[in-house]
Amino acid sequence: MKHFITLDAIPDLNNAVQEIRTLKKDAFAFEQLGKHKTLGMLFFNPSLRTRLSTQKAAQHLGLKTMVMNFSNEAWALEFEDGTKMSGLRSEHIKEAAAVVSQYCDVVAIRAFASLSDKQKDEEEQVLNNFARYASIPVINMESATAHPLQALADAVTIHEHTLNKRPKIVLTWAPHPKALPHAVGNSFSNMVQRLDADYVIAQPKGYELDPRITKNTPLIYNQEEALEGADFVYAKNWCSYQEYGKILRTDDTWMLTAEKMKLTNNAKFMHCLPVRRNVVVADDVLDNSNSLVIQQANNRTYAAQWVLKQILQNG
Ligand code: CP
């Protein structure tokens, strides 16, 4: 593995999940692998889980970490080629990426979607330009369109809790007061499409994800119907993709409740966190023993550790 920008970097997802579960049993087994090496972590957006779990993963591998809140501590970056930099942007990505490559052996980056410029978001300007101009491997810690570390951890969590051979997995849109990106829903869909599972996505009209992501996945516009017989229910908000960045509804009809969970096959509840209680999901769902949200957060460490291990072993 050179870079880890999307799940496409993993040729065999099932094998990766098995290896992550083995790694979890002996987290310090590869403690020497990262000795005298440094992981740089650049955040253009806030984080709790990604920051701490990736740092912990690095520690397990003997890596040192350097963390920078790029959005407010670094010089504002210019990404356009051949531009006259007479405005507010002080440093070009060409120098920034090359300089970070002098101090670090691997760089991990978080850079969310703007939700105002669909084309730029889909070009993954920050991630792809770092990958282009850095001489070291680049890891995606959630970009404009993808959150593969989250999806990899979710694959492990689903694997750990799958009782029947072919589970039904439902991704359901849920309400939120802010416009949120599509990255988690995109990567979750990419991941589940590679599992041996029945997968459906439930969303109100106007909230369909990018059809290049959903592909042949059934899209259901009635949440109760989608939840029937589900073994896993993953709730997540995202803004409209078609009317890019817009919030189309503000009512709480799609909030996930204990009453709705009764329609399922005693389903496990999943969410990537952070989650707004009693907006996205009711307290009694989150506080129920079927909620896997803390296990998901725990698996973030081992998913990140597996990715770092692949990159370090690649030399
Ligand atoms: N799920 C997730 O990525 O959490 P953070 O935004 O806190 O890193």
Query: pLDDT tens digits for 38-91?
Result: 999 999 999 999 999 999 999 999 999 999 999 899 999 999 999 999 999 999
Q: Is the CB of 272 under 6 A from ligand 1?
A: yes
Q: Is the CB of 48 under 6 A from ligand 1?
A: yes
> What's the whole-number mean pLDDT along residues 152-172?
95
The pLDDT value recorded for residue 277 is 98
Q: How far is the CA of 115 from the centre of ligand 1 (A)?
A: 18
Residue 141 has pLDDT above 90, yes or no: yes
The pLDDT value recorded for residue 53 is 98
Fold of 7-146+300-313: Rossmann fold (3.40.50)
Indicate the pLDDT class of residue 219, thresholds 50, 70 and 90: very high
Q: Is the CB of 298 under 6 A from ligand 1?
A: no
Q: How far is the CA of 150 from the centre of ligand 1 (A)?
A: 8
Indicate the pLDDT class of residue 101, thresholds 50, 70 and 90: very high
What atom of ligand 1 comes closest to residue 272's alpha carbon? 1
> What's the whole-number mean pLDDT along residues 169-174?
98
Alpha-helical (H) ranges within the chain are 13-25, 49-60, 70-73, 93-103, 118-123, 125-133, 148-160, 183-192, 211-214, 223-227, 258-261, 283-286, 293-313
Q: Is the CB of 154 under 6 A from ligand 1?
A: no
* Pocket-testing residue among 41, 42, 44, 47, ligand 1, by greatest number of atoms within 8 A of Cβ: 47
Q: How far is the CA of 152 from the centre of ligand 1 (A)?
A: 13
Q: What percent of the chain is predicted at pLDDT more than 90?
A: 97
Residue 133 has pLDDT above 80, yes or no: yes
The pLDDT value recorded for residue 96 is 98
Residue 315 has pLDDT above 90, yes or no: no
Nearest CA to ligand 1 atom 6: 47
Indicate the pLDDT class of residue 250, thresholds 50, 70 and 90: confident
Task: Give the C-alpha separation, 30 to 205, whole Å.
Answer: 48
User: Would you say the CATH fold of 162-291 matches that of 7-146+300-313?
Assistant: yes
Return the closest-CA partner of residue 173 out of 113, 112, 214: 214
- pTM equals 0.98
Class of domain 162-291: alpha beta
Q: Is 136 exposed, middle or buried (0-12, 13-18, 19+ CB in 10 A)?
A: buried
- Cβ atoms of 143 and 126 within 8 Å: the answer is yes
The pLDDT value recorded for residue 71 is 87
The pLDDT value recorded for residue 163 is 83
Which residue's structure tokens are 């725990």?
298
Q: Is the CB of 49 under 6 A from ligand 1?
A: yes
- The domain locations on the chain are 7-146+300-313, 162-291
Nearest CA to ligand 1 atom 1: 272
The pLDDT value recorded for residue 218 is 98
SS3 222: coil
Indicate the pLDDT class of residue 171, thresholds 50, 70 and 90: very high
The pLDDT value recorded for residue 54 is 98
Indicate the pLDDT class of residue 164, thresholds 50, 70 and 90: confident
The pLDDT value recorded for residue 48 is 98
Q: Is the CB of 273 under 6 A from ligand 1?
A: yes
* Pocket-testing residue among 180, 295, 300, ligand 1, by greatest number of atoms within 8 A of Cβ: 300
The alpha carbon of 212 is separated from its chain's Cα centroid by a whole number of angstroms, namely 18
What atom of ligand 1 comes closest to residue 149's alpha carbon? 3
Beta bridge partners of 66: 40
The whole-chain average pLDDT of the chain stands at 97
